Amino acid sequence: MSTLLLRVYDWRWSVLPPVTGIAMMAMIVGALVAAPREIIEGEVQRLMYLHVPSAVIMYLAFSVTAFASVMFLWKRDIRWDALARGAAVVGVFLCGMALATGAIWGKPIWGVYWTWDARLTATLVLFLIYSAYLLARSVAGPLDEQAARYTAIFAIIGVADIPIIQMSVRWWRTLHPQPIVFQPTPALPTEMLAVLALGFIAIAALAAWLIVLQTETERAAQRTSALRAEIDHREIA
Amino acid sequence: MDNIEYLFAGFAVFWAALFIYLLTLQARIRSLHREIEHLEERLAASEGVTAPASRDLRGAPGASGGAPARGTTNS
């Protein structure tokens, strides 16, 4: 089983980039050409095919960070810290994209780019939490276990903001639209749902590729640190 | 209602940010890969043996290759 998993993982460079590229191109064609034009909001509604998948996959990326942080605290294996950082970078990127596309959609629809709406504010808080996590983690060295422990706890606490974001439109009166996709009968035409599903596949593939790439970069940074320490140790000895 | 300029802006921001992120990541991967090779050569010279290069980023954008060495990262 582990051999099979390792073999699948070995395909990451040959499979993930082309799959991501094809899915992203299909999503763009679907969003800009195939999806029907929304009558009330007009063309800008097509940003939904980027905005909603970015927001949902961002939750998954931060959940990976929290899971890897728990595993790091449990196993004390620094490789889990690399995965936590890798997923956090991708989560922050997707969170930034969800905020940016939401703001651009908000200007013609609400009349403002930004408002201190509960969902927007909670999402901004999540963005700041994980930006702070990455900043704190990058100040210390890649192999600094104490810093990795403290930031892991911070990352686990930070993920508690996700249910708050998700429930904010139900708990408070907000400008943000109510959920129309994740309910028993989605309030979208089938053509729009199909393009949205394509958007989810594309952004999920992109996130998977970027997490792998970023995690292995963090592992390379850890290796650089370990090699430098080894050389220093030998030179002193 | 026709808001095509906002649609263009939204997609442009997304793709520009992704492009910049990938370029930055590629530069970092390339620099780390070069540094690992250099450090491994120094270490090998001090040991008097040939050290394997890291394979973690082999095939990744910016990486210039390297011999297989599974689990080269410290744990």
For residue B71, is pLDDT > 50?
no
The CA-based diameter of chain A, rounded to the nearest angstrom, is 75
Query: Residue B52: what pLDDT?
Result: 53
Q: Which fold has domain A14-236?
A: Four Helix Bundle (Hemerythrin (Met), subunit A) (1.20.120)
Q: CA of B12: which chain A residue's CA is closest? A: A101
Instruction: From chain B, pick out residues whose CB is under 8 angstroms from the CB of A51.
Output: 10
Give yes or no for A100 touching B (CB within 8 A): yes
The secondary element (H helix, E strand) that includes residue B36 is: helix B4-47
Express each pLDDT in B5-56 by its tens digit: 999 999 999 999 999 999 999 999 999 999 999 999 988 888 775 445 455 5
For residue B74, is pLDDT > 80?
no
| A133 vs A152: CA distance, rounded Å | 8
Q: List chain A residues with pLDDT less than 50.
A: none
For residue B58, is pLDDT > 70?
no
DSSP A122-149: HHHHHHHHHHHHHHHHHHS-TT-HHHHH
Q: CA of B8: which chain A residue's CA is closest? A: A44
For residue B66, is pLDDT > 70?
no
Q: Please give the angle made by the CA atoms of A25, B30 and B36, to the nearest 5 degrees.
A: 140
CA-atom Rg of chain A in angstroms? 20
Query: Residue B69: what pLDDT?
Result: 38
Q: Which backbone phi and psi does B57 adopt, to 5 degrees?
A: -105, 15
Q: Which backbone phi and psi does A180 adopt, to 5 degrees?
A: -120, -10
Q: How would residue B67 be classed by pLDDT, with cut points 50, 70 and 90?
A: very low
Q: CA of A142: which chain B residue's CA is closest? A: B74
> Which residues sit opposite A42 in a β-bridge?
A38
Our CA-based measurement puts residue A225 at a distance from the nearest CA of chain B, in whole angstroms, of: 9
Q: How would residue B75 be classed by pLDDT, with cut points 50, 70 and 90?
A: very low
Where exactly are the structural domains of chain A? Answer: 14-236
Query: Residue B57: what pLDDT?
Result: 56
Are the beta carbons of A134 and A89 closer than 8 angstroms?
yes
The minimal CB distance from A220 to the residues B2, B18, B32 is found for: B32
Give yes or no for A29 touching B (CB within 8 A): no
Query: Residue A7: what pLDDT?
Result: 78
Query: Residue B73: what pLDDT?
Result: 39
> Which residues sit opposite A38 in a β-bridge?
A42
Residue A62: which residues within 8 A CB-CB, separation 6 or more?
Answer: A87, A88, A91, A95, A126, A130, A158, A159, A162
Query: Residue A38: what pLDDT?
Result: 86
| A97 vs A110: CA distance, rounded Å | 19
A233 against B74, higher pLDDT: A233
